Each structure stands twice: as structure tokens, then as C-alpha cells.
Amino acid sequence: MAPSSSRQSEFRRASVSFSLVAVALVIFLAALLGWQALQVKDQVEWVTHSLDVRRQANTALALVVQMESGQRGYLLTLDPAFLAPYNDSQRAAGEALRRLAEMVADNPAQAALAGAAVAAERAWVENARYEMMLRRTSDPRFAAYFHEGKGANELISIRTGLSRLLDNEIALEDARGEALRMGVMLAVLLGGGGLVLVAALFVIFGVGRLRGLNQVFEANIVLVEQQRDGLDLMAQELQASNEALQAQQEELEVQSDELTSSNEALQHQQEELSRVYGELRAHSTEVERSVEERTQELLAANDQLARQRRFAETLLARLPVGVGFIDEDAIFRVANPVLADFCGIPPERIVGHHVDDVLLHSELDGAGILARVRQTLEPVTVEAVPATVQGDGAGSLTRWDATVLPFLGETGNFDGWLVLAHEISDRVEKERLQHERIETLEDADRLKDQFLGILSHELRTPINAIMGFGSVLDDEVAGPLNPEQRRFIGRVMVAADALLALVTDLLDMSRIQAGKFTIALRPVAFAEVVAAVLSMLAPLAQSKQVSLRNRVHADLPLIEADEQRLAQIVSNLVGNSLKFLDEGGWVEVWADVDGDLLRCEVRDNGPGIGVEDQGKLFKSFSQVDMSNTRKAGGVGLGLTICKNLVEAHGGTIGVRSEKGEGSTFWFTLPLAGQGSSPTTGR
């Protein structure tokens, strides 16, 4: 038992030692395999980074080419359509180069190339901006600048730097790809070799210890199987990793092919750009010639502008009105001699001086007027401004109309004020004389009205005496009359009636002009008034064999009027028609409601009135026929009194007539309100 026990102890010690060695070896191999897997991952990341750098470099190079094409196209054609791609690519190119510099910052050589490209791009942009400014303004320096090819060195530096950077990245990518492939192969070898080594150790140790380890092997068979399963799983994982690495390698090869194609396309673009640049150089002589011709045209235009300026200055100096311009700071910038007369100071004390200093001795509120014009953007006119014009001796006082207008620029912004001044001294003097004449005429008219009023009033007494005694004689109170005496008395009475009507018209007109005329308003039946007037005028119409027609309905609503004055209106209008009618004529009175008014028309078939004479009808002491041989008598007050009476009632009056077509005189009066009561009018 003792030897058996000793062998068992020795076997246990050997088993433990073998187990420790196997475990240590497995741990070492696993660590080595893990380290190699990390190296492979780093290589994959580096390869991906190289691809990104190449894409960014290609993008930046394409943008630089597009930017140069837009700039050169604009220089050749001055077409604004080239500016949009130039501006867009210029901003994008700068950003792309700065991004590229950030991506290669950890590689000093690549970082130096990217930084040089960024600096060259900035310098080229400044040169391009200056060159386009010279071209746009037709500066003569453009031809020399364009011919020298300013900025070409910067473009060459950008393209060369980016090409070298791409070549370096391709070399780095190839080296890192090779390292990636070697790492993958090493990981596969380490994994497989480790498994083989562990298996070999187990076999060697098992052959040497087969007899002693049978029982232990059988006892630990389960553990070995578990370890084998774990190794199989590791082998599968390594195989999957290997397949993934191969797939990544294939993808990198595809990306490499794409980059190669992109490089070829970029090279083609560079060749095309070189061709275009050669064409630009070929056309430089033509551009220089065009610039020279344009320069000559500009010089000719400048001479034309100078002549126009001299003409404008001469015209401004000879204008009969004052003209001036005030800038936004209220400083006079332009002033002609007439404006100097308006300001009362020499011209040299106006231009370049503030408006308050120029108008120091003027009655104008210059600052207030300028502020109002600027606020409203509307012109302001001040009339009859006094100004003293300095002559050889003492100054003479003159009158001016001054207008200040807002002066707006091409964009509609306020740029200052325009001042216009026109002397109106002669007009003011004429207006003063005219005003004096009007006052004189008004005084004479007032004296005439007073005389007519007094004369009319004084004539009523003898007329009343004539009419009174004539009536006594006609009634044969003093004794019988023979036919001839009765005929004489009749003529005296007719003449007295006409004279009394004339005096009454004169008195009414005198009261109207003196403002002492009054009316008493009350509801009146218009049809009754018309019937009474026509009845009163019937004998006169019969004597002239003229018919009177009443077309006024009795059911018309009441009107608000003075009944006596209303009868006077109708009587004057009908009597006026009777004056001018011959035997067989007719006069018609018509009335109807027109809204809240009553409209009355007096129509006749008389000779009519021309349009040119209708303006005389409603004027005092005015008739169409003012000759001494006129057919109808009267002093021309009947229609004037009618007009004043109608307007005093709140109505209107007018006429429609044509020569040979008769006349229609119409007037309107307001209807009586519901429940209205008599009132005293004007």
C-alpha cells in the first residue's frame, strides 16, 4: 500500500504541475492573441482614416478648381453668373482645407503640407478679390495684373501640396494595409500554433504518463472535453475574425480602386483647367484691347460729363428763380445768384454755411420748415416772404414765394432739401392795387344800394298818392268821366302799378343786401299759392292772348315756406315768362315731390335763352337784352330776388333753355316736417 500511495502522491504532483503549465500556456497564448487583435483593429482604423483624408483632399482640390474656373470666367466675361459658383466654392474650399489640416494634425509632414495649402488658398483669394475689383471698375492696372498671372503661384502651391499629401496618404495606406495583412496572418498563426502546442504537450505528457494517469484522465475526462469545447469555440471566433478581416481588406481594395478613379478624374480636371487657363492667356491680348477701348470711352464720357456740368452750372446761374440744395446736416451745398438775393447775402456766404447762419436775418423759421419737410416728406411753401435785395445803394424790400421740397436719392432715402424761391414783388403790388380797387368798388356799390333804398322809400309816398287819387277819379267820386278821361285814368293806374312794382323790387333788394330781409316759415299748401298767383296774372295773360296752364296737383304735401314770399317767387317767374311771349304762347306751372323736397318748374314756349347768356339771369340789374330798344322792360331784379328768396327757404333755383326751344325755370323747397310749427326765418 505504501508504494501505491507514494505513486499516487507523485502522480498527483505531476498532474498538478502539468495542469499549471497548461493553464499558464493557455493564458499566455490568449493574451498574445488579444494583443494582436488590438493591433489589427488599430491598423483598420488607420486605413479608414487614410481613406477619409484622401476623400477630403480630393474634395478640397475639386473646390479649388471650381473656384478658379468661376473667377477666370468672370474676368473674361464680367458675367455675374460666374460669381455664384465662385463665392460658394470659395467658402467651401477654405472650410475643406481647414478640415483637412485638422485630420492630418497628428502627422507633422502631412500637417505641414495642409497648412501650406490653407495659407496659399487665403493668399490666392485676396489676389482674386483684388483682380476682380480691378476688372469690375475697369482699372487700367487690370491688364498688367492679369497678364502677369497674379495668384498662379498660390494655385500651383495648392495643387502641388494636395497632390503630395495624396501621394503620402496612398503610401501610408499601402504600408498600413500590408501591416494589417501581416497582423491578421500572425493572429491566425498564433491561434492555430497555440492550439497545436497545447495539444502536443498533452500528447507528450500523456504518452510518458499514460499508465499513471489513466485513472486521473478518466476522472478528468469531463474537464478535458470542456476545455476542448472552449478551444473549438476560440478557433471558430478566430476564423470569423479572419473572415471579417478579409472582407475589410476586400472593401479597402475597392475603396482604393475608387480613389484611383477619383485621382484619374481629378487629373483630367487639372488638364482641362490647364487648357482653359491657356485659352485665358490666349485671350489676354483681346481683353487688354477691350480694356483700352473702354478706357477711351470712359475718358470721352468724362469729357461729356464735364461739359454737361458746365452747362448745368451756367443754366443754374441764369435761372430766373432761386435754386439751392441743403444736405442732411443742414449745410447749403448749391445756391444760385437769385437765391442769394432771396437770402439777402452774397453767394459766397451761402454755400458751405449752415441754414441758420444763412437765414439769420430772415423771418423764415428755417430749422422748423426743414424738420417738417423731413418728417412728412411733403413740400412746404411759404408765401410773400419779405427780403431785402442789396443794390448799388440802399437795399430794396421785395416779396418772395419759397418752397422747400424733400430730395430723395435713387434708393428712396432722404438725402437733403431742395429750395426754390420766386420773386413775386410785382404780383404783390398788383394784388394790393386790385384790392384797393375792389374796396373802392365795394364802397361805390354800398353807396348805390343806400341811394336806391332811400330813393325807393321816398318814391312810395308820391306813388301811393297817384294811385289813391287815380282810384278816386276812376270811381267817379269827383264827378262823371267821359270815355277819353277814363282811358287816360286807366293808363295812369297801369303806369302807377308798374312803378310801384319796381319800387317794391328795389326795396326788397335793398333789404336783402343790407341783411334786414326776413321770412316767416310755416306749413303752406303749394297748390293753393299757385292757383292764386295764376288767377291774379290771368288778366295780363288774356291781354297778350297767352294761355296759363296749372299742372300742380292739390294733394301735394305741405312745404315749409313764407306764403307771401312763395307767391312772389311764382309770380316773378310766371310774369318773367309772360314778358317774352307773343300771341298764342303758353306758360305752364308743374310741381311734384322729389325725395324730401318739392320741385316746381315754370315752363314756356318762348324764344329761349342761349347758354352764353344764362349766366346773366340771376345777377342784379342784368338782362339778356340790355339795349335801349329791348322788347321787355324792367331793371333786372326779378330773378335775383327769386334766387335770394329760394335760398332763404333752404332751396335751390336754376334754368334749362335753348334758343328757339323755350325755357324752364325750376326751384326746390323743403317739405314741411311732421308736427312742424310756424317759425320766423332769415
Of the pLDDT bands very low, low, confident and very high (cuts 50, 70, 90), residue 223 is low
pLDDT in tens, 75-106: 777 777 777 777 887 788 888 888 888 888 88
Rounded-to-integer distance, Cα 179 and Cα 44, Å? 10
pLDDT in tens, 173-221: 777 767 767 766 776 676 666 666 666 666 655 555 555 545 544 555 6
Of the pLDDT bands very low, low, confident and very high (cuts 50, 70, 90), residue 559 is very high
- Cell for 639? 330773378
pLDDT of residue 668: 94
Rounded-to-integer distance, Cα 576 and Cα 636, Å? 10
User: What are the residues facing 669 on neighbouring strands?
Assistant: 598
CA torsion 90→96→97→98, rounded to 10°? Answer: 110
Tell me if the pTM is above 0.75. no
**Cβ within 8 Å of residue 513, ≥6 positions away:** 449
| φ and ψ of 359, to 5 deg | -100, 30
pLDDT in tens, 497-520: 666 666 666 666 666 666 666 788
pLDDT in tens, 1-27: 455 556 566 666 766 676 677 677 778
Report how far Cα 296 is from the mean position of its chain's Cα atoms: 39
CA dist list (Å): 432 to 226, 387, 402, 438, 440? 134, 18, 20, 10, 12
Return the number of other C-beta atoms located less than 10 Å from residue 178's C-beta: 11
**Range with the largest mean pLDDT of 147-161, 359-373, 590-604, 621-635:** 590-604
Rounded-to-integer distance, Cα 581 and Cα 604, Å? 8
| φ and ψ of 325, to 5 deg | -130, 135
Residue range 548-557: mean pLDDT, rounded = 91
Rounded-to-integer distance, Cα 387 and Cα 367, Å? 18
Residue range 136-154: mean pLDDT, rounded = 62
Nearest Cα to Cα of residue 149 among 131, 172, 168, 164:
131
Nearest Cα to Cα of residue 167 among 270, 102, 259, 67:
259
pLDDT in tens, 440-496: 777 776 776 666 666 656 666 676 777 677 777 777 777 787 888 777 777 776 666
pLDDT of residue 18: 66
**Cβ within 8 Å of residue 205, ≥6 positions away:** 18
pLDDT of residue 626: 47
pLDDT of residue 445: 64
Of the pLDDT bands very low, low, confident and very high (cuts 50, 70, 90), residue 528 is very high
